[in-house]
């Protein structure tokens, strides 16, 4: 079943995740690479003709991505595979 505004809110969570990754100042720069991947993912969202919904920041980056994933899962028919695959790859990389 399509969740109303699922894509928009998922994008909002991805934006929060981007901001969270960028806030981390780690010497390995891994968070920078993760943030860059988040931005790639945001780029894919821009192709979908939706606008991001403002979502209160309250989750960490991994939590935001999980929430975005759950929202996309609920809106599965409307979610292009490219977005889904990119998000899952990103989550996997962030969880490592």
Partner 1 sequence: MIATVGSLLDGAHARTWELCSAPDGMREDRAAALLAAWPRLASATLRALDMVPLEPVWLDDTASVRQVLAEVVAASCWSQAVGVQQQGDVRAPNRDVLAIARRIGLIADLLSGQSAASTDVDRAAVVGLQANLLAPVHAVAVATMAALSDQTGLQTTRWLFRAVMARTERYAAMPTVERAGRYEDVAAIAPGEPSLDGAIAEWVRATVAALTSPHRATGTALQVAAGDAMILTATAATVCRAATQLGYVDASAAAKALAALAHAHRAWRAPTRWPNTVYLDGVRDVEQTDASRRVRQVVTDSLRRDRDWLPAEAMADRLDIPALVATMRRGMHAVGNVGLAHFQAIENLVRGRGQLWIAANAITQSAYKGVGNDRGRMPQGLGPDAPRRGRRHRPARGRARSPRQHHGRLGCPGRHRRCAADDRGWQRRCSVEGAGTGRRLLRGGPSRAVRDGSPVPVGRSRS
Footprint on this chain of partner 1 (rule: CB under 8 A)? 12, 15-16, 18-19, 22-23, 25, 28-30, 32-33, 35-36, 39-40, 42-43, 46-47, 51-57, 96
Angle ∠(47,48,54) on CA atoms, nearest 5: 105
- 3-state helix, strand, coil split of the chain in percent (to 5) is 70, 0, 30
Nearer to partner 1, 26 or 73 (CB): 26
Alpha-carbon gap, residue 24 to 2, rounded angstroms: 34
Nearer to partner 1, 47 or 73 (CB): 47
Least Å distance, CB 81 to partner 1, is 17
């Amino acid at each position: 079943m399509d969740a109303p505004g699922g894509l928009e809110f998922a994008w909002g969570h991805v934006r929060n995740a981007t901001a969270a990754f960028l806030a981390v100042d780690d010497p390995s720069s891994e968070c920078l690479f993760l943030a860059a991947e988040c931005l790639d993912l945001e780029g894919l969202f821009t192709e979908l003709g939706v606008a991001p919904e403002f979502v209160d920041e309250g989750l960490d980056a991994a939590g935001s991505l999980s929430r975005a994933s759950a929202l996309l899962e609920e809106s599965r028919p409307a979610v292009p595979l490219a977005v889904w695959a990119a998000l899952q790859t990103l989550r996997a990389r962030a969880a490592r």
